[in-house]
């Protein structure tokens, strides 16, 4: 910045910029212009937050720059389409600050910039690069840099800086208990948009976001529907959607064939989450259907070949038997001891209706159903009729191992 001083001999310039030169040549600089009652208003309205550092070499007005951070948002160059032009900016300055920029003088042009001169003794100009300068009584005759036009887009055109969201979507079909990628598409998103998805834990914004697109990752733990909203910083909702979450399915590959289970997290969230943890950990691989009763159920998930018990890897869970689901043929439920809250990894598939296993009371809590067979009930029927024996003190053990080769979440 180059100071422009006035004394009894007139205004003297020392290597001034072209802008100041043009102002002088045009004889528009009013030496000792009007004494304004509140010069800090001009500074506070016309400067962006980082102008304090940029205008540090203008000590006459430096003290007035402190309030600027509370007046303007940080500059966001090229954050919106339709760049702010010089005339629109100067029109806005005249409307907002008529005491400094009264009237509507013509826009004058000089090499590299345009400017307007006011009878108040103030001048404002914009270079072809969009940099804004002013000169007048409040600057004590020094050229003052006011930042770039991009700083003022939100002030001149507030609507352009309000985030608008067109779509919120998942990049792939949502899968309960799995990590999902959610995408927000809109405009002016870099002016403040926050995603809320209560049914999706560890919500994290991914790298590479832009003014028109943002991506987030999270783990889906909502049953049936995931509610997602994009919220502006003022608390208003830009868009809210409900994304479908299918009930999870697991494929059990056994030595007798394949069984597909569909779980019900809406009715038995604790039990489903527990079962998925064991399944996704690979816990069930190479375990047995170790207890088979043809007119009752088939039970597995706790023993390896030779009836060697495999230790559970998670604490016992709370019993969810009073959930409205019934132990009918084809449903899957958790096995447990005589203690209600004792289920860990073992489960059973009802091969007939076993209504006596349903919740009756706190004294007779029953067994928690948490899903059903949707494919492979014929395989269940093959398993239920295998010959059984007593082995290592356990009854109803298949003579020939019925092996659970793998359990994989496939939806």
pLDDT at 320: 98
Q: pLDDT digit string (tens) for 64-92? A: 333 332 333 334 434 444 568 999 999 98
Secondary structure of residue 150 in the 3-state scheme:
helix
pLDDT at 108: 87
Distance CA 277, CA 286 (A): 17
Give strand ranges (E) for 10-112: 10-13, 108-110
Contacts of residue 132, Cβ cutoff 8 Å, sequence gap at least 6 = 46, 89, 124, 125, 126, 145, 146, 147, 148, 149, 152
H or E stretch at 94: helix 86-96
Mean pLDDT of 278-307: 97
Residue 254 Rama label (left phi>0; alpha psi -120 to 50; beta): beta
pLDDT at 40: 34
* Backbone phi and psi for residue 223, each to the nearest 5 degrees, phi listed first: -95, 140
β-pair partners for 11 = 6
Q: pLDDT digit string (tens) for 41-61? A: 333 333 334 433 344 344 444
Look at 79-83, 113-117, 143-147, 406-410 and tell me which has the smallest mean pLDDT: 79-83
Mean pLDDT of 188-210: 94
> Nearest CA to 371 among 250, 256, 280, 286?
250
Q: pLDDT digit string (tens) for 320-376? A: 999 999 999 999 999 999 999 999 999 999 999 999 999 999 999 999 999 999 999
Distance CA 340, CA 362 (A): 9
Within 10-79, where are the H helices? 18-25, 39-46, 51-54, 59-62
Mean pLDDT of 185-192: 90
Residue for token pair 């809406």: 266
Q: pLDDT digit string (tens) for 379-408? A: 999 999 999 999 999 999 999 999 999 999
Whole-angstrom CA distances from 125 to 114, 145, 189 are 6, 10, 30
Query: CA gyration radius for the chain?
Result: 37
Mean pLDDT of 307-317: 97
Q: What percent of the chain is predicted at pLDDT more than 70?
A: 78
Secondary structure of residue 304 in the 3-state scheme:
strand
∠ CA(272), CA(285), CA(259), 5° rounding?
65
pLDDT at 39: 31
Q: With cut-offs at 50, 70 and 90, classify the pLDDT of residue 139.
A: low
Query: Which residue would you say has higher pLDDT here, 29 or 288?
Result: 288
pLDDT at 175: 96
Domain boundaries, the chain: 4-158, 162-245, 249-409
Residue 231 Rama label (left phi>0; alpha psi -120 to 50; beta): beta
∠ CA(168), CA(171), CA(177), 5° rounding?
100
pLDDT at 13 over 50: no
β-pair partners for 322 = none
Same fold, 162-245 and 249-409: no
Share the mean pLDDT of the chain: 82
Distance CA 175, CA 410 (A): 9
CATH architecture of 162-245: Sandwich (2.60)
Q: pTM for the full model?
A: 0.68
Mean pLDDT of 305-327: 97
CATH architecture of 249-409: Beta Barrel (2.40)
Q: With cut-offs at 50, 70 and 90, classify the pLDDT of residue 140.
A: low
């Amino acid at each position: 910045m180059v100071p422009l001083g006035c004394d009894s001999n007139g205004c003297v310039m020392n290597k001034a910029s072209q802008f100041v030169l043009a102002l002088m040549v045009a004889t528009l600089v009013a030496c000792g212009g009007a004494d304004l009652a509140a010069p800090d208003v001009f500074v506070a309205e016309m400067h962006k937050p980082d102008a304090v550092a940029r205008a540090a070499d203008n000590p006459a007005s430096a003290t007035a720059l402190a309030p600027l951070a509370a007046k303007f948002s940080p500059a966001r160059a090229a954050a919106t389409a339709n760049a702010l032009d010089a005339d629109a900016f100067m029109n806005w300055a005249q409307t907002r600050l008529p005491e400094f920029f009264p009237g509507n003088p013509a826009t004058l042009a000089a090499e590299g910039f345009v400017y307007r001169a006011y009878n108040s003794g103030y001048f404002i100009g914009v270079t072809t690069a969009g940099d804004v300068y002013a000169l007048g009584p409040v600057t004590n005759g020094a050229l003052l840099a006011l930042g770039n036009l991009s700083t003022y887009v939100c002030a001149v055109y507030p609507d352009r800086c309000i985030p608008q969201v067109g779509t919120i979507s998942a990049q792939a079909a949502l899968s309960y208990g799995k990590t999902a990628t959610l995408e927000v598409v809109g405009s002016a998103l870099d002016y403040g948009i926050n995603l809320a998805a209560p049914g999706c834990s560890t919500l994290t914004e991914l790298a590479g976001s832009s003014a028109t697109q943002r991506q987030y990752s999270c783990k889906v733990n909502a049953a049936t529907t995931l509610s997602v909203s994009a919220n502006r910083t003022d608390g208003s909702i830009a868009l809210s959607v409900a994304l479908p979450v299918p009930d999870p399915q697991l494929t059990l590959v056994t030595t007798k064939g394949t069984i597909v289970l569909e779980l019900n997290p809406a009715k038995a969230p604790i039990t489903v989450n527990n079962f998925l943890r064991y399944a996704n950990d690979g816990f069930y691989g190479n375990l047995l259907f170790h207890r088979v009763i043809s007119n009752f159920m088939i039970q597995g998930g706790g023993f390896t070949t030779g009836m060697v018990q495999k230790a559970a890897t998670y604490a016992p869970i709370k019993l969810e038997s009073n959930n409205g689901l019934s132990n009918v043929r084809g449903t899957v439920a958790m096995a447990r001891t005589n203690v209600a809250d004792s289920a860990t990894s073992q489960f059973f598939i009802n091969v007939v209706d076993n209504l006596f296993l349903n919740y009756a009371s706190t004294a007779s809590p029953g067994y928690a159903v948490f899903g059903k067979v949707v494919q492979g009930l014929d395989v269940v029927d093959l398993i239920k009729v295998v010959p059984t024996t007593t082995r290592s003190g356990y009854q109803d053990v298949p003579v020939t191992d019925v092996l659970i080769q793998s359990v994989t979440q496939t939806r």
